[in-house]
Structure 1
């Protein structure tokens, strides 16, 4: 990040003082980045060529298997040679674009998986339905060392009996023939239709993995140094934690890739922009908060799309009851009052934050369902806009009045209170944004201070939330994966409900989302809309910002499209020069 941008951040932090809270509305409205989803470059394509991919972030751990990868960089590398069982559309709904075709039988709680004949692993061996079945026996095994064994796998009939050693087989897995599998489930909600919503996408080479005891598999050669897949590329060499060199898979079932190979290097986020400008890479995901340092680059184009992540401010209204394994709201806390939560929501200008701090690359959120889920996000909901006078009126109407003249309201019982606000460190804009929120709330008469007077490191922050520390308000982000079902974050019996918020009405609305009726598109849409309207009014969280994912593509790449569900596939990528273009 250059000195000018750092200076601007400092100026913005100063501007976001109490005296600068009232931003003009014309300035506050975020215009958005208006980034393209695709690029087409001039030039005649060459034969082959090696695509240079900058994997921005920390070194990968080396667990290059869908069964064991935990870090995002390990998962990304794995996708190049093992793209998984099925594809999905722009709403992450499972479709027929991947290897398998799935048929859903709601009445009998079954899914039938059909894979094509003639597909081979990169070692030449045929891919059969045994390779779809075997991952269940690995993940469910008592000696399995990964993190995948959870509610989705336990939902398969007979899985828990197998895991507990009561059976040598998983009764819910029925092999119909060499290319067809029928799976029986205990529960069968509409989330099953979503990628990552309940049906495993794992397919692994049984003929290789079965040679190693499951207790040793995670650290084996088959996972760490010589993984085999069926994707567009196959692994040629690995430099642990640093790079992977791929060569094309001439027998890829979707067609022979046009590239000769792919080189993936781990690149530090602090140098990613300079590496792209120097022409060292064809592809990199670059940071939003440095956008103004590369938005006018001459040798690459930046593409962007909204992601499945939303930032939010949460209100910690209770605790986790370990005995009952559910949240336990505490009505005595000031933030348990809905009016206070609503007022604090109207006090902050997230349009301006997205524009001033993120160059319009983050936009005000209207719902906990990210807007990229077009079929689920309720666009009729405005969400919370910047209306400080309305915030003050809501407080007054609810009995929050400044009775002692200190500038801060007392609660409806006349008792003074001060809220603690927890927010994470990690970027140059983290502190000024957190301070802005504190100042904005003070402007409407709500006394708020940072937890322990400082920002918190990532792990410390979540440890405190998990332990129900003395935190009233917190700022966090939630990635909803491929399934927008809000039950995980807002369910009464889910520990990911960091707000510890629950109501009987919320229980009913979530039950409707998870009901059999929700398998019908219209009923599912209504269930999601009803829940969103309710949760926005109740305001256990304030959805603040949706964010863009930015991808920079070098000018030697002929075509590249990042549209979710219909973007460019790797077998179709072409180059127009032997090396990336320099600035």
Structure 2
């Protein structure tokens, strides 16, 4: 590899980072928008175009008013219609509610810039070898766990050893880890150590990767250490359920956990020894609030800020007098998924089933054509969610193929596809039988959450019924939904179709969601072209931006053709913040950190 390949790449505005499960239900988490057109604004936020809104009319940085007081506390509202699971460690968590809590007290050792490329401004710095395969990381001398112990290279190695252990029960082990030299041998038990990882000294770690890929600079490096002095003597299978994860979690972030009421609240105090500097606030309380009470909590000052406001409630509350709404395009999308197989826990790979009920491409294509997601975005979300076309969202503009129109709403096309595939109404009851003439019933699950969750799911059921498909709907709360859909590796055979959402990471690479060895590939879909394109997107050739764009354009079209899942809505995220709060921002690349958060008064401002 030429010496300047990495420096050229660093200059490119690439996106990236290992994906995380931001699985979210209809109203639990807001998101990107596009459906409002180009209307003029009225008062900065409400548009004249049929009551539509645009994310372009929001700032993502809070306007500061007044002078900060010394200390003070705030309350963060975690909007969820279910309790949080409480797996409070980055190495094991799987749900977005837990991630929202983790962000307050723990963090990765690496940070990234507005172009989603790793920087040397984080808790650790890095250097890259000439061939782009070996990274040498140096952890800052002032980076310490909340109990005062230093964060060490051994802790970083230990996280890799736990995730690579055959008894590991979390969702992180994927191609990001198998690209490390010696990881697969360690995982199989044929080696006692990971040959590609070396502890150079207490604060220095070296990792050698099998392949040099652009994703190494934009997300596929695992940067979350695991405190070996706490977890080192535990059996790996016991860590995720241990009190040290569930009751007394530890991190090295700006705040530290004092107490937890399981599923309801977390109380934190400032970490005076935080590596970026002592936080301005004395503490933070995180409390779960439902989507039905979020407005009341904001108006009364019961919470100072929430990360995501239910956007279907925004039109009625756009003029709330005591908050400022921040807005950003979310790295997320909602989608409809089809069950096409199961998860093979022994081999940690998808077991694709060619006989699965939904394993007819024309059936899946027809179900996409049958729904009008432009109307959904306007009717349910006033334009703050909008029709999604491909599985790389517009939050990643260099790789989102905006020329690809996906599958447009077209009931005639849906009917023709079903007719051609042999799904015919043979008994005259208005509902189609399968190609063998057997009754066809499709079991569809979706998540509860706010006033629009069930009406939205019912809309999809009615749209599919309009083209002759009998679909049975079941609404489930967040944790039960993901148990049924296969988050723990157990796929419910009674689920055929599901509606969910992904919060994607900064790395464009979709392998962790749609690769054959990804547990998050809930469709359990496997395809030779898919694996080829995912590999090409991570190859050394993909350091060429145009080449990588070409690969991901082809991948987006493959998914439009095969439809193991189809995207429904892109998302805008709105975050209301009490007027007393200072130094707060949402989105990427703002360089506003939680230790800078402050308030200008002891008590929240209440609505007039």
User: TM class, shorter-chain normalised?
Assistant: 0.7 to 0.9
Return the alpha-carbon distance in structure 2 between the equivalents of residues 255 and 161 of structure 1.
Answer: 41
1:40 aligns with 2:76: no
Q: Which has the larger radius of gyration?
A: 1
* Aligned with 1:307 (options 321, 325, 330): 330
1:294 aligns with 2:317: yes
1:281 aligns with 2:303: yes
The match for 1:378 is 401
The match for 1:8 is none
Segment drifting more, 540-549 vs 274-283: 540-549
Q: Alpha carbons of 1:572 and 1:506: their partners in 2 closer, same or farther (altered >3 Å)?
A: same
The match for 1:422 is 444
* TM-score (normalizing by structure 2): 0.76
Native 8 Å contact 2:338 2:497 kept in 1: yes
**Aligned pair count?**
550
Unaligned runs of 5+ in 2: 1-47
- Name whichever structure is richer in helix by fraction: 1
The match for 1:272 is 294
Return the alpha-carbon distance in structure 1 between the equivalents of residues 523 and 238 of structure 2.
Answer: 39
Native 8 Å contact 1:32 1:362 kept in 2: no
Q: Alpha carbons of 1:482 and 1:351: their partners in 2 closer, same or farther (altered >3 Å)?
A: same
Q: Alpha carbons of 1:143 and 1:515: their partners in 2 closer, same or farther (altered >3 Å)?
A: closer
Q: Alpha carbons of 1:375 and 1:574: their partners in 2 closer, same or farther (altered >3 Å)?
A: same
1:463 aligns with 2:487: no
The match for 1:364 is 387
* Aligned with 1:436 (options 453, 456, 459): 459
The match for 1:13 is none
User: Residue 561 of structure 1 aligns to a residue in which SS?
Assistant: coil
Return the alpha-carbon distance in structure 2 between the equivalents of residues 265 and 410 of structure 1.
Answer: 49
User: Residue 141 of structure 2 aligns to a residue in which SS?
Assistant: coil
Return the alpha-carbon distance in structure 1 between the equivalents of residues 359 and 140 of structure 2.
Answer: 55
Larger relative CO (CA 8 A, sep 6+): 1 or 2? 2
The match for 1:54 is 77
Native 8 Å contact 2:432 2:469 kept in 1: no
The match for 1:181 is 205
The match for 1:6 is none
Q: How far 1:300 moved relative to its partner?
A: 1.2
1:101 aligns with 2:125: yes
User: Residue 95 of structure 1 aligns to a residue in which SS?
Assistant: coil
Return the alpha-carbon distance in structure 1 between the equivalents of residues 422 and 168 of structure 2.
Answer: 56
Q: How far 1:379 moved relative to its partner?
A: 1.8
Native 8 Å contact 1:29 1:351 kept in 2: no
1:492-571 to structure 2, matched below 5 A, reads 492=516, 496-499=520-523, 501-566=525-590, 568-571=592-595
User: Residue 423 of structure 1 aligns to a residue in which SS?
Assistant: strand
Native 8 Å contact 2:123 2:143 kept in 1: no
Segment drifting more, 67-76 vs 370-379: 67-76
Q: Alpha carbons of 1:398 and 1:462: their partners in 2 closer, same or farther (altered >3 Å)?
A: same
Native 8 Å contact 1:501 1:540 kept in 2: yes
Deviations 1:542-582 (A, max 9, x none): 32112233322101013422122325211222221111111
Native 8 Å contact 1:56 1:272 kept in 2: yes
Q: Alpha carbons of 1:502 and 1:229: their partners in 2 closer, same or farther (altered >3 Å)?
A: closer
The match for 2:278 is 256
User: Residue 392 of structure 2 aligns to a residue in which SS?
Assistant: coil
Return the alpha-carbon distance in structure 2 between the equivalents of residues 116 and 192 of structure 1.
Answer: 21
Q: How far 1:481 moved relative to its partner?
A: 3.6
The match for 1:202 is 224
